[in-house]
Structure 1
Amino acid sequence: MADGVLELVCECKHDPWGKLGKDSLAGRLWSHMPDAGELDDSETYSEMWMGTYPTVPSRVRATGELLLEHLKKNPGLVGESVRRSRYGADIPFLPKILSFAKALPLQIHPDKALAEQLHKKNPEKFGDTNHKPEIAIALSRFEAFVGFKPLAEIAELVRMEPLESLVPEHTDFNDETLRQLCTNLLSLSPEAVSDIVTKLQNIPLSEFGNDHKVTSGNDHKVTSLLRRLNEQYPTSDNGILVATLLMNYMVLQPGEAVCVPADSIHAYLSGDIMECMARSDNVLNTGFCPRPDRDDVGLFAEALSFKPHSPEESLLERKTSQIGLKGRTTEYSPPISEFNVLGVTLRPKEVEAHRAIQSPSILVVTQGSGGWL
């Protein structure tokens, strides 16, 4: 163990949407942990967590002690600026590696005001009072539903016969109309959802028009996404309609990233990602999960924000970081104070060095091997 560098032992979750066995990057990385054992190709490996959050906490390999307890005894490891903040000796961010074979639950993460209310009412379900903005960096081809489509695209889609009754006539189509439309779609009975999904799948592709090709140069249409999601979840799942009709479908290549603010709707679809977020595990789910597990539709809809409102607004710019002294470090800087993410890619015999920063860092090697100088 180098001075100030701790080797961590992390745990991996097994959500049903995760990839199986060796197909899962989260699982493969977890399998390098001490005593992890062989990956089971019949088991899903969905999320490897790193950090101090109590749901899936990391431990210090050398001692087996919880990372948080070690930091409390050695507060200098988190840096002066963090120690003097409200986080104390804790780490103010939560990084994860995610691997998913089908859509994650349709969800939002509450902002601070709502998180405080939910925690007060139900601290067992909502375990903290923090917001949870996040970024997702593609480690493989990454498909995601993130934020809402531009209003004009949604307005055109809902003029179609199976949908027109869901929007009041002679109403300006603005964000509040969209909020009501989202509420209506999430409130439909299983029978009504199945009926609309079936009708939409039977509409000729030509009736959807060129405006409804998805972004990133792909030729998928609403109907093909409907069929694909219907293979993963029951036809009666309200999330199928919300995702395909209202949300931006995006395809990212390794190294590209999206930013998801608090209260922003999202549902990741396939791939492997590095995800980093403010230190929180609060979530409201309303689709792509069993109905008993869904949260209140009214609460979900009221909390919705309308940023991002196009694929372009979702993308997070990456730039060469001034922290990297050899120019081989990329920086992802979301518009929040809790974290940045640095990415380093090295060819054989290349090295990188970083300037000192006054905060804790968690390092994960996602591919290849190397040495620490």
Structure 2
Amino acid sequence: MELLRNAVRPYAWGSRTAIADLLGRPVPTPHPEAELWMGAHPGDPSRVTGHDGTEVSLLSLLESDPAHHLGDKCCDRWGTRLPFLLKVLAADEPLSLQAHPSAEQAAEGFAREEAAGIARNASNRNYPDPTAKPELICALTEFHALAGFRDAHRTVRLLDELDVPSLRAHRGLLHAQPDADGLRALFTTWITLPEHYLRDVMPELLEACVDHVRARGEFALECRTVLELGEAYPNDAGVLASLLLNRLVLQPGEAIFMPAGNLHAYLHGTGVEILANSDNILRCGLTPKHVDVPELLRVLDFACGDMRVLKGESLDSNLTVYRTSAEEFELSRLDWTPAESGAVRLDSAGPQILLCTRGRVRLSTVDGGRALELDRGESVWLAASDPAVTARPVTLDQDGAAQIFRAVAGAV
């Protein structure tokens, strides 16, 4: 059990306050800070702090002794690679509209681009690695997102409400077939519109959205989102695509899981994100980065309906787990209050990362060999061979709570 020192990624859409506040640093920061990475991603691996204060890359530790750190089961499935990456994500502006491939699609795409001789760091590379990238985000603050295609009948009603003249012919695609096939036809039409057409249609769409918001219509939140995206990304087909997606507002502790093919964009808020340790992203808009529409259409899942919001499964008064189909990871959350402040035992479950997000928590190995305290924003690495630990709150925050998140490899 060792402390981690983690990298902060300064993307333009990040926050000048959220991550710095979590880490106890002055706010606002000079530049936006978007993600705090905890894991062994080659781009920015965590540093493990030894008993003597020396630091070594977690990536190097895994490569030097994978059996000790990852365990036999994890090594048999993932080799020397930690299969998950844990993040704190803080968005003050929208991220790109994107989806991720399945394991089979990623392996095929990676092999195809390798054979074509496309450099793995090339800007037009879709598949820098051959692995899937499912992800889950759990809200720390109110968290806004677009995720998954809305029920097609509700989208028909939205388009009828807006009644944008330039989109009436396109609207008929979904009127005639309000299902996944109709959504595919409409999305494909919109995402391939020429720029001159987008320049003509956007003012009409934005005007219709303004009218709907003023009238306090059923889809006022969706329309406000279109207006915000239209201002940030004028004449971007992704603004049209956002009309087709579920608009979600997560409260702290609520989560959404994005499997392969799920089209989504995070809009605003701070959350704990866990994802497969992969860089495979197919973008379709709201970004200046590479967009490959034909490849995106190959991986998108056009199944439609309400996006499931995960509340988590309570295993006891302190422990909540977020169940998903991902084999790369599992995320759980431990909460303490003045009424529920006892110790919780965390048995060895392969490689683990623990992150404190509220209060101060003491971790002790059950064999008595190691103990340390985690302040808010601090995290630890637990190797597969480490003994079980107990966790208990030392200090509750001003709201009377302590909290840690626990990331483990999924069942293999």
TM-score (norm 1): 0.84
Superposition pairs for residues 163-174 of structure 1, below 5 Å?
163-166=167-170, 171-174=176-179
Match for residue 216 of structure 1?
Answer: none
Q: Distance in 1 between matches of 2:213 and 2:228?
A: 19
Superposition pairs for residues 160-239 of structure 1, below 5 Å?
160=163, 161-166=165-170, 171-203=176-208, 204-205=211-212, 212-213=218-219, 220-231=220-231, 233-239=232-238
Q: Deviation per CA, 1:137-180, whole angstroms, max 9, x where unpaired?
A: 00000000000110102233445333122256684232122112
Q: Distance in 1 between matches of 2:320 and 2:308?
A: 18
Q: Pick from 344, 349, 358: which aligns with 2:349?
A: 358
Q: Are residue 58 (structure 1) and residue 40 (structure 2) matched? A: no
Q: Unaligned regions of 5+ residues in structure 1, if any? A: 214-219
Shift of residue 94, structure 1, vs aligned partner? 1.2
Superposition pairs for residues 280-291 of structure 1, below 5 Å?
280-290=278-288
Q: Unaligned regions of 5+ residues in structure 2, if any? A: 365-412
Q: What code does the residue aligned with 1:59 have?
A: R
Shift of residue 316, structure 1, vs aligned partner? 2.2
- Cα gap change, 1:355/1:15 in structure 2, threshold over 3 Å: closer, same or farther? closer
Q: Secondary structure at the match of 1:137?
A: strand
Q: Are residue 115 (structure 1) and residue 95 (structure 2) matched? A: no
Shift of residue 70, structure 1, vs aligned partner? 1.1
Q: Distance in 2 between matches of 1:207 and 1:8?
A: 50
Q: Secondary structure at the match of 1:268?
A: strand
Q: Distance in 1 between matches of 2:44 and 2:276?
A: 15
Between Structure 1 and Structure 2, which shows a larger proportion of strand residues? Answer: 2
Q: Deviation per CA, 1:94-136, whole angstroms, max 9, x where unpaired?
A: 1111000111000001111221233220433332111111111
Q: Pick from 235, 246, 262: which aligns with 2:244?
A: 246
Superposition pairs for residues 37-186 of structure 1, below 5 Å?
41-62=29-50, 63-74=54-65, 75-85=67-77, 87-120=78-111, 121=113, 122=118, 123-124=120-121, 125=125, 126-159=127-160, 160=163, 161-166=165-170, 171-186=176-191
Q: What code does the residue aligned with 2:281 have?
A: V
CA RMSD in angstroms comes to 2.4
Match for residue 310 of structure 1?
Answer: 305
Q: Between Structure 1 and Structure 2, how many residues are aligned? A: 343
Match for residue 319 of structure 2?
Answer: 329
Q: What code does the residue aligned with 1:252 have?
A: L
Q: Secondary structure at the match of 1:116?
A: helix
Match for residue 9 of structure 1?
Answer: 5
Q: What code does the residue aligned with 1:310 have?
A: G
- Cα gap change, 1:208/1:163 in structure 2, threshold over 3 Å: closer, same or farther? farther
Shift of residue 317, structure 1, vs aligned partner? 4.1
Q: Distance in 2 between matches of 1:134 and 1:141?
A: 19
Q: Give yes or no for contact 1:148–1:306 (8 Å, CA) kept in 2.
A: yes
Match for residue 379 of structure 2?
Answer: none
Superposition pairs for residues 22-41 of structure 1, below 5 Å?
23-25=17-19, 27-29=20-22, 31=23, 41=29
Q: Give yes or no for contact 2:156–2:171 (8 Å, CA) kept in 1.
A: no
Q: Give yes or no for contact 1:111–1:263 (8 Å, CA) kept in 2.
A: yes
Q: Distance in 1 between matches of 2:302 and 2:214?
A: 27
Q: What code does the residue aligned with 2:186 have?
A: L
- Cα gap change, 1:49/1:205 in structure 2, threshold over 3 Å: closer, same or farther? same
Q: Distance in 2 between matches of 1:357 and 1:370?
A: 18
Q: Give yes or no for contact 1:131–1:262 (8 Å, CA) kept in 2.
A: yes
- Cα gap change, 1:40/1:221 in structure 2, threshold over 3 Å: closer, same or farther? closer
